[in-house]
Structure 1
Amino acid sequence: MNAVSLGERKLTELDYGRLIQLPAARGVSPLADLLGEAEVLETSRMPQDVVTMYAQVQVEDLASRRRSRFVLCYPGQTEPRDGYISVLSPVGLALIGTRVGTLASWQSPAGAQCQAKVLAVARAA
């Protein structure tokens, strides 16, 4: 299972509206849990340090200290070589709605427990 520790999460109304329409939002799933627990805010009221869809997020892996940049996108839009990862991936679900300074945790497809600290968030203007 690719369980994710949810913690406090914030979603924009737009992101929430789009995510809830995905098939993965139905039934019992990590996405359904996230949508049920997240605080939903108007886009204009979203703090700039929160990871939203299409925001570029920089993280640091706690084990390796390696820094990576990702852009969360919807399924079908992924381009891993360019850093575009699905919000439905274990990493994507761990990051969406978190703030700078948060420790995100997820289980890799191989079963390894992973943790990374959110270092920065940049949104397109």
Structure 2
Amino acid sequence: MKPTISETDYKTIYSLIQDMPASQRTKEMGQLQKELDSAKKVADENIGTDVIRLNSYFEVKDVGTGKTLQLTLVMPKMADLSQQKISILSPLGVALIGFSEGMIVEWLLPGGLKNLQILKVGNEVPTVKS
């Protein structure tokens, strides 16, 4: 199961990883790089509105515990857990970027191996430039 990434998100995230000093690189950054490398890259206007991408609002359920989270995926500087905004560099952000509403993603998080069901995804519809 490969994630689907818009060209803009791919370039933005790739630049973030490349610009990070080696001393600040984390395990999640390496995992995110692998996800980007294996992802299906599509033109911004062709990505589904139900795909988790940067600035997406989403609801996800831990299938094992039944716990549901409502979050927004953002760049690291915008992350604020008090506002339910998580970084693309967080373990959960890396796990879910590029996956669609209805999918179940299996991922090793700090709390162990989890099956995460994506219940809802909200995105602004990209505008086509003419």
Instruction: Report the TM-score, using the length of structure 1 for normalisation.
Output: 0.84
How has the CA–CA distance of structure 1 residues 25 and 67 changed in structure 2, closer, same or farther, with 3 Å as cutoff?
farther
Rg comparison, structure with higher value: 2
Alignment partner of 1:48 is 2:49: yes
Structure 1: 4+ residue segments shifted above 3 A: 24-28
Alignment RMSD, CA only? 2.1
Residue by residue, what CA displacement relative to the aligned partner does 1:53-79 show, whole Å, maximum 9, x if unpaired?
101011111122122111111112111
How far 1:107 moved relative to its partner?
A: 2.8
Quick one: distance in 2 between partners of 1:38 and 1:76? Answer: 24
Aligned position for 1:68: 69
How far did residue 24 of structure 1 move?
A: 6.2
TM-score by length of 2: 0.81
Query: Could you tell me which residue of structure 2 aligns to residue 37 of structure 1?
Result: 38
Which residues of 2 match residues 1-125 of structure 1 at below 5 A?
Answer: 7-23=1-17, 29-109=30-110, 111-124=111-124
Measured in 1, the distance between the counterparts of 2:18 and 2:84 equals 22
Contact 1:25 1:31 in 2 (8 A): no
Q: Which runs of 5+ in 2 are unaligned?
A: 23-28, 126-130
> For residue 121 of structure 1, what is the amino acid of its counterpart?
V
Identical-residue share of aligned pairs (%): 25
Say whether the 8 Å CA contact 1:25–1:32 is kept in structure 2: no
Which structure's residues are more often helix, by fraction?
Answer: 2
Counterparts in 2 of 1:48 and 1:124: CA distance versus 1, 3 Å: closer
User: How far, CA to CA, are the matches of 2:66 and 2:33 in structure 1?
Assistant: 31
Helix, strand or coil at the partner of 1:60: strand
CA distance 1:103–1:119, shift in 2 (3 Å): same
1 CA distance for matches of 2:119 and 2:18?
28
Structure 1, unpaired ranges of 5+: 1-6
